[in-house]
Structure 1
Amino acid sequence: MLLPLGGRRIYYDLTGPEHGPVVCMTHSLMSDSGMWSEQMPTLLQAGFRVLRLDMRGHGGSDPGAGGDYTMQGIADDWAAALEALNLPRVHYIGLSIGGQSGQPFAIYHGDKLISTMLIACAPSSGTVGDDTSVWNRGMNAVRKANSVEPIADEVMGHFLSDATKKSRPGRWKQLRDTAAATTPAGMLGGAAAIMNYDFTAQLPSVRVPALALRGAQDPDGTEPAMRQLAKLVPGARYEEIPNANHFCNVDQPDAFNRIMMGWLDEQRKLT
C-alpha cells in the first residue's frame, strides 16, 4: 500500500492482528521490505502486527526530490509513517541503513518506540566497514549507467554468504534482482547518508531498550563498530550470529528468529 508523505509516497505493508503489538521493520540500502520474508511467519504466529516500510527510492517508495538523503530525514519518514497510520509505539527492527536511521529515530522519536534492534550498522560513517573509495567507485558506476545493475553482483557478495547462494539460489536471485531494480536516486541518496552521519555524541541519551546484532562474517557491520554502538546506548546488549554476512536474517533465519523472538518476549514482560 502507498502512504502519501510530503509530496511523495512511501510503500508499506501492515499485516497481522489489529490489536497485536506492532513490530516496524526497515531494510538495507539496495533492498526492500521483502528482505524480511523469513521473519514474517514467526512474527505473525506469535501474534505480532508487522509494519514493513520501504525506504525512499527503494521497493515501492518514491525517491522524492533530487539530492542526498540524511539519516535524520529517513528517520523522520519512519516517524511520519507511524503518525499517519495511527501507530503510537512500536518495536523497531532495522538492518544496515535501517539500523543507521534507527539511531536518530531512537534519539529524536524515542517516544514512539518500545524497543529497538539495530542490526549490521555502526554509530558513525567513520566506522562503516568499506572505505570511501569503495563507495565512490560504486556510486560512480551507478551514475554512469543510470542503474544499480552494474554493482548488483558485488553488493550480493556483501549481503549473503556463498553457502546461501549455493543452497538457496532462488532466494539469492530475488534479492539480487531487488538490488538491481533500486532507483539510482535511492541508491545514491542513501549512500550519501551512509557516508555522512555520526551519532556517537547523541546515543548516550537514548532511553529505549536496544539490541545490537550482527552476522559474524559481516564485512560492513563490523564487530568493533557494533560493540561500540552497544556501549554507547545505555543498557544495550550485543549479540552476533555465526556463519552470517550482512543479511544475517536471511543467511541464518532460524538463529535470527530465535534471537528476535527472545528479545521481543523479553520486552513484552517489561511492558
Structure 2
Amino acid sequence: MLLSLNNRKVYFDLAGPQGAPTVCFTHSLNADGGMWVEQMVPLLAAGYRVLRLDMRGHGGSAPVDGDYTMDALAADVKGALDVLDIKKVHYIGLSIGGMIGQGFALANPGSLLSLTLCDTQPSTPPGSAGTWEERKATVRTKGLAALADATMERWFTDEFKKVNPVRWREVRDTISGTTPAGSAGCMSAIQNFDYLDRLPTIKTPTLVICGDEDQGTPPDRNQLIASKIPGGRYEGIAAARHLPNVERPDQFNRIMLSWLAANR
C-alpha cells in the first residue's frame, strides 16, 4: 500500500487487528520490508499489529534526490506513523534501520513502547568514509547489481545459500532492484551520523541483537550501544552474519517475542 508523505510515495504493509499493539519494522540498506517476512506469522499469531515501512528509494517507496541524513530518515518514520494515526509502536530496526531507530528514539521518546536495534552502529563506522564513497560511485554508475554478490557474502554465511537457495535469491534480487538514488542517499546518511554520546538519554526499554559473525556491524559495536542505553540488553545469535532474522529466524523470533511480551 502507498501513503503520501511530503508529496512522495511511501510504501507500507500493515497487517493485524487495529486495536493491537503495533510492531514497526525498518529494514537494512538495499533491502525492503520483505526482509521481515520470517517474523510476520509469529507476530500475528501472538496478537500484534505489524507495520513494515520501505525507506526512500527502497522497495516500493519513491527516491529523493541528494544526500539523506539519519534524522531525516527518522522523521520519515514519524511522518508515516502520523499519516496512519499510530501513536505508539514497538520499534524494530536492522542495520541502517537500527540507526534510524536510535534517531527516532531520541526525537520521539513518547512514540515508543520498546526499541529493538539489530546488527547496527551507534555512529559512522570508524575509517569507513572511503569505502562508502566507492560504493556510492559504483551504484551511481553501474547500479545495485554490481554490489549484490559482495553484499550477500556480508549478509549471510555460506551455509544459508545451500539450505535456502530460494530465499537467498529473493534477497539478492531485492538488492539489485533498489534505486541508485535511494541507496546512495542512505549511504550518505550512514557516512555522517553520531548518536553515541546521546544514547544514555534514551529511556525506552531497549534490546540489541546481533549475529555473532557479523563483520560489517560487529558484535562489539552493538554491545557498545546496549551498554550506553540505561537498562539496555544484548543478545547474540550464533552462526549468523548481518541478517540473523532471516538466517536464524527461530532464534531471532524467540528472543523478539519474549522481549515484546515483557514490554507489552
User: Shared fold (TM-score greater than 0.5)?
Assistant: yes
2:81 is aligned with what amino acid? L
Report Cα offsets for 1:182-234 as digits up to 9, x if no partner.
00001100111111100012111111000011000011221221111111111
TM-score, normalised with respect to structure 2: 0.98
1:177 aligns with 2:173: yes
Corresponding residue number in structure 1 for 2:3? 3
Corresponding residue number in structure 2 for 1:131? 128
1:39 aligns with 2:39: yes
Alignment of structure 1 residues 6-155 onto 2, 5 Å: 6-64=6-64, 66-127=65-126, 131-145=128-142, 147-155=143-151
1:72 is aligned with what amino acid? D
Q: How far is the alpha carbon of 1:132 from its aligned partner?
A: 2.9
- CA RMSD, 1 decimal: 1.0
1:222 aligns with 2:218: yes
Alignment of structure 1 residues 195-210 onto 2, 5 Å: 195-210=191-206
* CA distance in 2 between partners of 1:157 and 1:126 (Å): 19
Q: How far is the alpha carbon of 1:160 from its aligned partner?
A: 1.5
**Post-superposition, which runs of at least 4 consecutive aligned residues in structure 1 deviate over 3 A?**
none
* CA distance in 2 between partners of 1:260 and 1:89 (Å): 18
Query: Contact 2:119/2:219 (CA < 8 Å) preserved in 1?
Result: no
TM-score, normalised with respect to structure 1: 0.95
Q: Number of aligned pairs?
A: 264
**Identity rate, percent:** 47
Secondary structure of the corresponding residue to residue 38 of structure 2: coil
Give structure 2 stretches of 5+ with no counterpart: none
Give structure 1 stretches of 5+ with no counterpart: none
Corresponding residue number in structure 1 for 2:248? 252
* CA distance in 1 between partners of 2:78 and 2:19 (Å): 20
